[in-house]
Amino acid sequence: MPEFRELYAAHYIISHFLKAKNPNELIVQHIWADWDMPEWDNPPYSDTSTPFNHVHLLDDRARAMHRGNLYDRNPLWPRSRIFPHRGPYLRESGLMLKDVIFNPRHVILDMGSLWIQVQLLQHTFPQIYTKQVWSKSIRALPWRIGTVNERLVKIGIAFDFGEDILAFVTNDFVFKVSYARTLNLLPERQIDPLSDLLQWMRRALRWMDSIEDSTSGESVWNVVRTASDVWGGCGVYTSSELWIMAGINPFSSIEEVFENPSRVARLFAAYLTFTGSTPKIIHELLRSRFVDENTLAATPHQRHRYSRYLKVYGKDWVSISRRMGELLEEYWDTVEALKHEDGKGEYVREDHILPSDIFGPSLVDIGLKLLGTPGGRLIFGDPKWEELAPTAEPVGDTQAGRMLYEYFARKGQLNQPTHLNLNKYSQLFLSAKESISYRTQPWVYHDKKKIWTICPFFGLNSTYVKKFGK
């Protein structure tokens, strides 16, 4: 799954291009694409004008070319009932790049007579080429000769505006294109919390209802990572980041997290902080990385700079606050003792056995402000929130926070434990220096994918007894 910040970077590149151009410069003249290797052996249509391993100028015969994953594939050319133009010359088709809309899993293009949704399933990303670069470095070169990739990129699909080309370059052709006459007729998409927080909150709460009676033994790390309809853009590294930000052990069960108001509010605040901080981060990373005005050209060193914006994934050392460090030491000591105590046998993760969660509010500052006072009450409980709230900038009431608070009120779960050592919190947000005053090493576990965390695995002798639902 592509990550949230990858999709935002894709949106940023196309937005940057749009701002530099006049609308009449972005009329689509042609659509191009490479054939994949199975199509070399079984051509989707006859094209004697172009060698099979060069980029092809498409026309309506490209409806025979399908892209997507194994069971969900769409043709590269729009269906005739919504797009009667046969191509390859499209200047009179009404296709004109007018806007790009951000989504956590898709690139959505307003092309005038059509809306185009490109789902970046794997290893696919937009790039802008000048006419000269396109002619000399893309069209002139085969993408593969024998076993050698002659051209460094493959063209999944490209929209040719004459002087510039918007191409979706790909490693393995795993992407999907959908066409519709209106935005609402495109396939259902994830909700962007940056632009519609309340709608995202409604979907998240419905999803929580749907998993309430789950008896799955999966870790919450996997549950959230695979629930892409709600947690759009939460791939491997984003998921690892969310759990350290929320202060929750990623090996917890569904019920341990999603039936607990404090943990849910912390997870929501973590996701909203991660997504809410994204625009500034992407702008800082990409603003000076363009050549020929609109072509992204970052060096490997510049790409690696992104790691400074991650807390745990891929790190040799993790910097956290001193209060989180003290909680971490207590947590490790307790869990390791439970895992290795001779004669103990299986242990049940009851509230009174495990130590407090390793939570630092400074890591979720953006999300906590979006959830407001109701979110703070859920995380810390009413008495502690009244004590902490005055130590930071005013955090007022918010509709999103009220929705979450009322959800747990209806379920009668407001009195659930916070799993926090409230004595550790004398102020809400720490200074930047205090927030990185303790260093610890991360641990990498395998649970279908790699999990980067500072928390210990509970142990194979650990179990959790379900309390709620059926």
- State the first-to-last Cα distance of the chain, in angstroms, to the nearest integer: 32
Mean of the pLDDT values across residues 433-461?
Answer: 91
Nearest of 276, 76, 284, 94 to residue 194 by alpha carbon: 276
Per-residue confidence (pLDDT) for residue 300, from 0 to 100: 84
- pLDDT tens digits, one per residue of 22-74: 988 999 999 999 999 999 889 988 888 899 899 999 999 999 999 999 889 99
Nearest of 233, 139, 94 to residue 241 by alpha carbon: 233
Residue 258 CA to residue 268 CA, distance in Å, equals 11
Residue 63 CA to residue 74 CA, distance in Å, equals 9
Mean of the pLDDT values across residues 365-386?
Answer: 97
In the structure, what pLDDT confidence band is assigned to residue 343 with cuts at 50, 70 and 90?
A: low
- pLDDT tens digits, one per residue of 225-284: 999 999 999 999 999 999 999 999 999 999 999 999 999 999 999 999 999 999 999 999
Per-residue confidence (pLDDT) for residue 32, from 0 to 100: 98
φ, ψ at 294 (rounded to 5°) = -130, 0
Mean of the pLDDT values across residues 151-162?
Answer: 95
pLDDT higher at 354 or 133: 133
DSSP track, 356-396: -----GGGGHHHHHHHHHHHHHHHH-HHHHHHHGGGSS---
Mean of the pLDDT values across residues 82-98?
Answer: 96
pTM (two decimals): 0.94
**What are the angstrom distances between the C-alpha of 234 and each of 15, 57, 225, 239, 470?**
23, 35, 5, 5, 29
pLDDT higher at 463 or 391: 391
Report the mean per-residue pLDDT for the chain. Answer: 92
Contact between 371 and 252 under an 8 Å Cβ cutoff? The reply is no
Per-residue confidence (pLDDT) for residue 467, from 0 to 100: 66
Mean of the pLDDT values across residues 326-337?
Answer: 92
**R_g of the chain, CA atoms, integer Å:** 25
Q: List Cβ neighbours of 283 (8 Å cut-off, separation of 6 or more).
A: 12
Residue 209 CA to residue 411 CA, distance in Å, equals 11
Please state, as a whole number, how many other Cβ atoms lie within 10 Å of the Cβ of residue 355: 16
What are the boundaries of each domain within the chain?
4-185, 197-453
